Amino acid sequence: MKVKKYVAANMTEAMKQVRAELGEEAVILNSKVAYTGGFIGLFRKKQFEIIAAIDPQAPHSQVKLKEKQINVPTNAGVKDIEKLNNNGIQKELHDLKKMVEVLSSNSKAVTFDHYPLPIQKFLVFMDNQGISNKYIQLCADQLLKKWRTSAEEPMESEVFKWGKQYFEEVFAPFYSKALAKSKKYINLVGPTGVGKTTTLAKMAANAVIDRQKKVAFITTDTYRIAAIEQLKTYANLLQVPVEVVYNLSDFEQALEKFKDFDMIFIDTAGRNYRELQYIEELKKVIDFSKEMETLLTLSLTMKEEDIRAIIDSFGSIKIDHLIFTKLDETTTYGSILNIMLDYQIGTAYLTYGQDVPDDIQAATPACLVKHVFEGKS
């Protein structure tokens, strides 16, 4: 059984290549459109890919090559492929399953060719932003419905507007008005290097300056002297008290000391929270049973799989909201959408610089859409 992938500028040319090398007895295992080159999803070169096979010993009664494109998903299992022919090549196709998957996975392309061109461009843009295929597909279905009910053929700008409106509606249920105003204790957790202390200072500064709240700091980050000094510097600038705690008893005493304050902002040590031992250490210092908002602070410069591993490790601690930092250090924001929808956790804030109290935004639906689909800070 011979299997090969063919790439051409159009389907007709690709089919000619298949016929020339494999003949009329070839079987199409997969066909799709791939996009290469371009800039932020636009002006990309469109190519057609075909994966075809031929059994040299197959009789002429077997399935003949057809010019009709067969849209088999790139992640299709052997059962999907077997449907192409049920009269004699099932075993051969089963043996070829892994080979076809490897060939197909070499391209990141998602098949959008059956959508109108303006919709294709928006879907390609989403793909380039790192948005999961399942959410691209959900959006594509909604865009196609609107397209079919439009009185006139929509322009590309109109389709992009529809897509943004769709995701504003998707984000809406997660919007928490920045933070629940009733919560007194605001606790930031997260790995090393994501900017927790600076983010905490920005949140506290906004509470003091914009909302005239009586604020105090607690830090459990006793691993780094620099971190304590940094928080003390912010505390001096805001003219608010700060307590350093080493264990649960210290924590309880600090809460008692600040019982008359409106909001207590708690800074924690940055650790490798993919390891459960650090989660357990955190629980030995902070009483999470209090009236507390726990926000997991994550950097958008992190790999999405690492973000997922960190969230998974916090299974024993309730994460109320997420904060994404360092938006100014990347150009792709799709992981915000993927993480929120997959874990059903809202984002409270987005940060994009070191200036206190600036460079922080409440993650409203409009703000999230602006970042994910426009790449703006």
233 vs 68, residue with greater confidence: 233
At 253-282, the pLDDT tens digits run 999 999 999 999 999 987 777 777 788 888
Judge whether 47 and 36 are in contact, CB under 8 Å: yes
Domain-by-domain residue ranges, the chain? 2-105, 117-173, 177-374
Q: Decide: pTM greater than 0.85.
A: no
Q: What's the CATH superfamily of 177-374?
A: P-loop containing nucleotide triphosphate hydrolases (3.40.50.300)
Confidence of residue 300 (pLDDT cuts 50, 70, 90): very high
Closest of 25, 17, 33 to residue 70, by C-alpha: 33
Confidence of residue 343 (pLDDT cuts 50, 70, 90): very high
Judge whether 175 and 363 are in contact, CB under 8 Å: yes
Judge whether 78 and 92 are in contact, CB under 8 Å: no
Amino acid at 89: I
261 vs 46, residue with greater confidence: 261
Buried b or exposed e, range 252-289, using 16+ CB within 10 angstroms: eebbeebeebebbbbbbbbbebeeeebbeebeebbeee
Confidence of residue 104 (pLDDT cuts 50, 70, 90): very low
Tell me what the mean pLDDT of segment 121-147 comes to: 92
Q: What is the mean pLDDT of the chain?
A: 79
pLDDT value, residue 67? 42
Judge whether 154 and 118 are in contact, CB under 8 Å: yes
Provide the percentage of residues in the chain whose pLDDT is more than 70: 76
Q: Is the pLDDT of residue 188 over 60?
A: yes
Query: Distance between CA 64 and CA 18 in Å, rounded?
Result: 12
- Describe the strand order of the beta sheet including 360-362 as a list of residue ranges: 242-244, 215-219, 263-267, 185-189, 292-299, 321-325, 347-351, 360-362
Q: Is the pLDDT of residue 60 over 50?
A: no
Closest of 48, 49, 43, 7 to residue 125, by C-alpha: 43
Max mean pLDDT range (44-48, 76-80, 192-196): 192-196
Query: Distance between CA 361 and CA 364 in Å, rounded?
Result: 8
pLDDT value, residue 40? 42
Closest of 198, 174, 200, 167 to residue 186, by C-alpha: 200
pLDDT value, residue 170? 93
Query: Distance between CA 98 and CA 104 in Å, rounded?
Result: 10
Closest of 301, 350, 302 to residue 322, by C-alpha: 350
pLDDT value, residue 62? 40
Tokens representing 223? 């691993």
Confidence of residue 49 (pLDDT cuts 50, 70, 90): confident
State CA 231 to chain mean position distance. Answer: 31
Q: Is the pLDDT of residue 10 over 80?
A: no
pLDDT value, residue 164? 94
Q: Is the pLDDT of residue 53 over 90?
A: no
Q: Is the pLDDT of residue 84 over 90?
A: no
Buried b or exposed e, range 207-239, using 16+ CB within 10 angstroms: bbeeeeeebbbbbbbeeeeebbebbeebbeebe
pLDDT value, residue 113? 76
Helix then strand then coil, % of the chain, to nearest 5: 40, 20, 40
Confidence of residue 218 (pLDDT cuts 50, 70, 90): very high
pLDDT value, residue 243? 94
Confidence of residue 61 (pLDDT cuts 50, 70, 90): very low
Would you give the DSSP letter of residue 130? T
Judged by average pLDDT, the poorest of 67-71, 133-137, 211-215, 367-371 is 67-71
pLDDT value, residue 142? 93
